[in-house]
Amino acid sequence: MATDKINLTIDDTQVAGKVGMTVLEVARENGIYIPTLCYHRQLTPYGGCRMCIVEIEKMRGLPPSCTTPATEGMVVKTNTPQLQDFRRGVLEFILTEHPHVCLICDRRQRCKPFDICLRSASVTERCVLCPENGHCELQEVSDYVGIKEIKLPYTYKREEVYRNDPFFDRDYNLCILCGRCVRMCQEVRGAAAIAFIQRGSRTVVGTAFGHPLQESGCQFCGACVDACPVGALAERARKWAGEPDREVVTTCPYCGVGCQLKVELKGDRIIEVLPHEENETNRGQVCVKGRFGIQEFVYHQDRLKTPLIRRDGQFVEASWDEALDLIASRLGNYSKDEVAVIASAKCTNEDNYVAQKFGRAVLGTNNIDHCARL
Amino acid sequence: MTNSIHDIGESACILAIGTNTNEAHPVISLEVLRSLRQKGGKLIVVNPREIGLVRHATLWVRPRPGTDVPLLLGMAKVIVDDGLLDKTFISERCENFEEFETTLKDIDLPTVSEITGVPVDRMIEAARMYATSKPAAILYTMGITQHSHGTDNVMAIANLAMLTGNIGKPGSGVNPLRGQNNVQGACDMGGLPDVFSGYQQVGNEAARQKMEAAWGIQLNPVRGLTLTEIFDAAHRKDIKAIYLIGENPVLTDPDSNHVQQALEHLDFLVVQDIFLTETAKLADVVLPSTSSVERDGTFTNTERRVQRVRKAIEPIGDSRPDWLITCQIAQRMGGKGFDFSHPSEIMDEIARVTPSYGGISFARLEKIGLQWPCPTPEHPGTAILHTQVFTRGKGKFTPVLYRPPAEVPDKEYPLVLTTGRRLFQYHSGTMSRKVKGLNLIVKEGTVEINPVDAAALGIVHGDNVRVTSRRGEVTAKASVTEVSQRGVVFMDIHFAESAANVLTNAALDPVAKIPEFKVCAVKVEKNH
């Protein structure tokens, strides 16, 4: 059987890939950076932003690596002066409509948190007012390409900022029209709640007839927010929470799919819950409840915090010892046919195992069930 | 599920019956889309309601609620008559086919069409599509099981899959999608009246002796009561005390008033939960437990995959994880073998006494979840069940007959009520109703009613309506929509203010003891 392994040379390095992979995928897999904006690993290649162009020997022009299949013996260059010039040209066009003080401000290296901006930028366009500042893909790409100044005239788009939808804000003044949100919504989620509306230079992402998201078929899964490379889409609750300092992978507590989630923490506080990508269950996708529905109930003021014992019809706070002693003495008074244990489809395997063991081994009853049928 | 979640995307044909996948299992519906878009697969949606998936369907079959058995029998007849059956699979892997085939002879498609409301040609098209596009997977949920004939429905589905050889292969299978994060695990762990962990029967001498040896105590050989039976017994005051962990039966069980009374009749009720739920309010002692992000453990998902739950933050207030609370009560009552210091030790005991979990340990789960059966520490887990033989040996065709739902519409209660979930809320709302954004999107329960029925009753969209069944009445806003077919109204189960289960019928399936949530008779009136 023929092997499906192929060998390429990228930037003078021998690398291996598999038949069916694109040049970009082979490069990424081998740790070689090629700048991209419209590319997203969960979406079909789009070839729109032209940042990922490469030079390939015996091939005309500058093919985009995201749509070019890798073949045996290819010799690829990803970072030549010609490529960088070309990228810089395209990027400058993108930046004529994207606030870019964050890229070219002379104080960029010097400003510390809480420094007051020294009027080098208009109030609405300051770097600190972009929720993605510091982890923006456009900044990353611009730094790689080397943008020092924008020679072309710049216009602020004056698009409406949508702050009334549940969970996330949409500021299309920061949008670079990469289409990742639109394609994610159509291709992966099948909701097609958003699309490019208007044409030409007025193109913008929006809903049919400008309806609110809630009336547009939006499922609020947040996949668009996660796909957005810039600050156009941002989860409202975590917008200014800063960078997480650790991450815990766990399983979603809602339905039976068992999506793997990344719980992002700052100190001991959950600031965000994101879909986990490297798993067999949900592969980087999640629904509205897992994405946005966890922190609020976890930290809700109505959470039970101490044991409660009913005395004269009223609940009274009690210590654990008091409550557990009371339960142990009361439950001990009934025969095995007078008691029942109701376990839980919400609790862990370990909780349930212990619960049925308690019922069977201590209370002596098999009256054990849970809501499996409901 | 016989197969895996990612496997669904590999199907050539998906028969989604009695499942509102895109609302109840949103991420699984993405696999359905993947099959359609990347594999050119076909999608047959069988649902009385025009659910979101219908938009993507190749074929939509719209039966009346509670008529799945005749529909599935009709499809089986078409497959047999057209010779589309997998003869090799049937002869090598199955038994009792002849008896099943005989019962199909009496099936008459026009009669089936009359019962189900599905046109004959559509039934034929669905049967041919399912039988000729291979591999084909069946997805189902509570729309199939929550009937007084739920077991028959499942048998009819299994017959269809065996008939076409769609078992034990990638992209095929019979895939019930489990509704709760760990309902699969709670069953696997023996949270059931008749089995220990791993479905080892309490009545089986060998199984019981094994558990007695492991636990060092004599065990009761008599199977216990199911949930609905427990509440009946409590109502009669035969059951006097209940120790309840993390459930809210006042909202989730059929005939809520009856459940509430049963709990009030109890002498002693302990409830462990993260919030003071409708059920906890009736308790004598309420214990605060931790949410899943405050504890370590495992959940088993719908594809039998055991996955880690990891503690991200410290317990809120003075709350404790459920396993610890139960162990502390057990130890106070003199129970032996409850001195676990970490859930991983509990999993080690589970692995020792449960064959299907024999190879599972926290160390192995660190990187990726494992699908049971996973009997040994070297076993990679099982992605697809029944690849060589069925669990019982041969797959048995079980003849089934149509039985109408326990309660059918009449003059006084002329409409059928069916219930279900919505994307933006979850079950009894204990968690989801605490989330502002979700409540902004779906803030109250509604009664979905067809425009024709609504017009006849003088109801317009947004009206306050009263829905009455033989068991109780609730009020909610009307949502006039063609999502509901004529004669059928739909309510969600999330809201205590319009609790659909005040209305539902506690008629049980004789085998599975599952209540008939999906069909009961009601009347709807405008609330003045």
Interface touch A348/B295, C-beta < 8 Å:
yes
Cβ-proximal residues to A192 (8 Å cutoff; 6+ apart), any chain: A185, A186, A217
Confidence at residue A212, expressed as pLDDT on a 0 to 100 scale:
92
Confidence at residue B340, expressed as pLDDT on a 0 to 100 scale:
96
Cα B347 to chain centroid, rounded = 25
Q: Look at residue A326 and tell me if it is in a domain.
A: no
Residue type for position B319: S
Q: What is the CATH number of the domain that holds A245?
A: 2.20.25.90
Confidence at residue A105, expressed as pLDDT on a 0 to 100 scale:
80
Q: Look at residue A315 and tell me if it is in a domain.
A: no
**CATH 3.90.1640.10 for the B225-288 domain, yes or no:** no
Same domain, yes or no: A120 and A230? yes
Contact call for residues A353 and A366 (beta carbons, < 8 A): no
A59 reaches B (C-beta below 8 A)? no
Q: Best mutation site among B20, B348, B366, B438 for testing chain A: the one with the most A CBs within 10 Å?
A: B438
Same domain, yes or no: A180 and A99? yes
How far B98 CA lies from chain A's nearest CA (Å)? 32
Residue B28: its chain A contacts at CB < 8 A? Answer: 257
Confidence at residue A113, expressed as pLDDT on a 0 to 100 scale:
67
Q: How far is CA B44 from CA A217, B56, B61, in A?
A: 22, 9, 7
Confidence at residue B308, expressed as pLDDT on a 0 to 100 scale:
96
Confidence at residue B506, expressed as pLDDT on a 0 to 100 scale:
84
pLDDT above 90 coverage of chain B, percent: 86
Same domain, yes or no: A213 and A135? yes
Contact call for residues B17 and A294 (beta carbons, < 8 A): no
Interface touch B333/A328, C-beta < 8 Å:
yes
Q: Best mutation site among A225, A238, A347 for testing chain B: the one with the most B CBs within 10 Å?
A: A347
Q: Name which of B33, B297, B441 is nearest A351 (Cβ-Cβ).
A: B297
Interface touch B323/A361, C-beta < 8 Å:
no
Q: Name which of A253, A302, A325 is nearest B181 (Cβ-Cβ).
A: A253
Q: How far is it, in rounded angstroms, from Cα B86 to Cα B92?
A: 10
Same domain, yes or no: A110 and A223? yes
Q: Look at residue A16 and tell me if it is in a domain.
A: yes
Q: How far is it, in rounded angstroms, from Cα B250 to Cα B265?
A: 14
Confidence at residue A118, expressed as pLDDT on a 0 to 100 scale:
66
B59 reaches A (C-beta below 8 A)? no
Confidence at residue A2, expressed as pLDDT on a 0 to 100 scale:
59
Q: How far is it, in rounded angstroms, from Cα B290 to Cα B320?
A: 5
Residue B309: its chain A contacts at CB < 8 A? Answer: 250-251, 348
Residue B182: its chain A contacts at CB < 8 A? Answer: 256, 344-349, 352
Confidence at residue B429, expressed as pLDDT on a 0 to 100 scale:
85
Instruction: Quote the domain boundaries for residue A273.
Output: 241-298
B29 reaches A (C-beta below 8 A)? yes
- DSSP code at position B112: H
Q: What is the CATH number of the domain that holds A219?
A: 3.30.70.20
How far B38 CA lies from chain A's nearest CA (Å)? 10
Tens digits of pLDDT across chain A (374 residues):
457 899 999 999 999 999 999 999 999 999 999 999 999 999 999 999 999 999 999 999 999 999 999 999 999 999 999 999 999 999 999 999 999 888 888 777 677 767 777 666 777 788 888 888 888 999 999 999 998 888 899 988 888 899 999 999 999 999 999 999 999 999 999 999 999 999 988 899 999 998 999 999 999 999 999 999 999 999 999 888 888 999 999 999 999 999 999 999 999 999 999 999 999 999 999 999 999 999 999 999 999 999 999 999 999 999 999 999 999 999 999 999 999 999 999 999 999 999 999 999 999 999 999 987 77
Confidence at residue B522, expressed as pLDDT on a 0 to 100 scale:
94
**Once rounded to an integer, what is the mean pLDDT over residues B43-56?**
95
SS3 content of chain A, % helix, strand, coil (to 5): 30, 20, 50
Contact call for residues B469 and B413 (beta carbons, < 8 A): yes
Residue A219: its chain B contacts at CB < 8 A? Answer: 22, 26, 423
Same domain, yes or no: A147 and A255? no
Same domain, yes or no: A121 and A211? yes
Write phi, then psi, for A29 (nearest 5 degrees): -60, -30
Residue A221: its chain B contacts at CB < 8 A? Answer: 26
Same domain, yes or no: A230 and A268? no
Tokens of A285: 């996708």
Q: How far is it, in rounded angstroms, from Cα B118 to Cα B113?
A: 5
Residue A339: its chain B contacts at CB < 8 A? Answer: 239-243
Interface touch A340/B242, C-beta < 8 Å:
yes
Q: Residue written as tokens 């909701």?
A: A191
- CATH T-level fold of B415-526: Barwin-like endoglucanases (2.40.40)
Strands in A49-176 per DSSP E: 55-56, 75-77, 161-162, 168-171
Contact call for residues A97 and A202 (beta carbons, < 8 A): no
Residue B8: its chain A contacts at CB < 8 A? Answer: none
Q: Which stretches within chain A are classed as H helix?
A: 23-29, 81-95, 101-104, 137-145, 180-183, 223-227, 288-292, 295-298, 320-331, 349-357
Q: What is the pLDDT of residues B330-350, one digit of tens each?
A: 999 999 999 999 999 999 999
- Assess whether pLDDT exceeds 60 at residue B145: yes
Q: Look at residue A319 and tell me if it is in a domain.
A: no
Chain B window 305-324: which residues touch A at a Cβ cutoff of 8 Å?
Answer: 305-314, 316-323
Secondary structure string (H, E, C) spanning B244-259: EECCCHHHHCCCHHHH
Count of the separate structural domains present in chain A? 4
Same domain, yes or no: A160 and A262? no
Q: What does the mean pLDDT of chain B come to? A: 93
B347-380 burial, b for 16+ CB within 10 Å, e for fewer? bebbbebbbbbbbbbbebbeeebbbbbbbeeeee
Q: How far is it, in rounded angstroms, from Cα A357 to Cα A353?
A: 6
How far B146 CA lies from chain A's nearest CA (Å)? 7
Residues A327, A333, A335: CA angle, nearest 5 degrees: 120
Strands in A267-326 per DSSP E: 269-275, 308-311, 314-317
Whether B5-177 and B415-526 share one fold: the answer is no
Q: Which of A221, A236, A251 is the last residue of a domain?
A: A236
> Taking the CA of residue B282 as centre, how many other CA atoms within 13 Å lie in the half-sphere pointing to its CB?
22
Q: What is the CATH number of the domain that holds A71?
A: 3.10.20.740
C-alpha dihedral sign at B287, B293, B296, B297: positive
Q: How far is it, in rounded angstroms, from Cα A208 to Cα A194?
A: 7
Residue type for position A239: K
Confidence at residue B250, expressed as pLDDT on a 0 to 100 scale:
87
Q: Say which CATH architecture domain B179-224+295-314+335-377 belongs to.
A: 3-Layer(aba) Sandwich (3.40)
Confidence at residue B527, expressed as pLDDT on a 0 to 100 scale:
86
Helix (H, G, I), strand (E, B) or coil at B209: helix
Residue B382: its chain A contacts at CB < 8 A? Answer: none
Cα B153 to chain centroid, rounded = 13
Cβ-proximal residues to A194 (8 Å cutoff; 6+ apart), any chain: A181, A182, A185, A205, A206, A207, A213, A216, A218, A224
Helix (H), strand (E) counts: chain B: 20, 23
**Once rounded to an integer, what is the mean pLDDT over residues B195-221?**
94
Confidence at residue A201, expressed as pLDDT on a 0 to 100 scale:
86
Residue B270: its chain A contacts at CB < 8 A? Answer: 327, 331
Residue of A nearest to B281 (CA): A315
Same domain, yes or no: A41 and A137? no
Q: Which of A79, A108, A126 is the last residue of a domain?
A: A79
Q: What is the pLDDT of residues B476-518, one digit of tens each?
A: 999 999 999 999 999 999 988 888 888 988 888 888 888 899 9
Task: Give me the DSSP letters along B78-103.
Answer: HHHHTT-S-HHHHHHHEE-HHHHHHH
Q: Look at residue A348 and tell me if it is in a domain.
A: yes
Same domain, yes or no: A269 and A348? no
Interface touch B286/A308, C-beta < 8 Å:
yes
Chain A window 85-114: which residues touch B at a Cβ cutoff of 8 Å?
Answer: none
Q: How far is it, in rounded angstroms, from Cα A275 to Cα A293?
A: 13
Q: Look at residue A339 and tell me if it is in a domain.
A: yes
Where in chain B are the domains? 5-177, 179-224+295-314+335-377, 225-288, 415-526
A314 reaches B (C-beta below 8 A)? no
A263 reaches B (C-beta below 8 A)? yes
Same domain, yes or no: A269 and A145? no
Residue of B nearest to A310 (CA): B284
A83 reaches B (C-beta below 8 A)? no
Confidence at residue B348, expressed as pLDDT on a 0 to 100 scale:
96
Q: Which stretches within B360-490 are classed as H helix?
A: 362-365, 436-441, 451-456
Contact call for residues B223 and B208 (beta carbons, < 8 A): no
- Assess whether pLDDT exceeds 60 at residue B474: yes
Interface touch B25/A256, C-beta < 8 Å:
yes
Residue type for position B97: F
Confidence at residue A269, expressed as pLDDT on a 0 to 100 scale:
94
Q: CATH number of the domain at B5-177, please? A: 3.40.228.10
Inter-chain Cβ pairs, chain A and chain B, closer than 8 A: 465
Q: What is the pLDDT of residues B78-111, one digit of tens each?
A: 999 999 999 999 999 999 999 999 999 989 999 9
A366 reaches B (C-beta below 8 A)? yes
Q: Which of A79, A101, A133 is the last residue of a domain?
A: A79
Same domain, yes or no: A261 and A194? no
Sheet holding A13-18, edge to edge: A13-18, A5-10, A75-77, A55-56
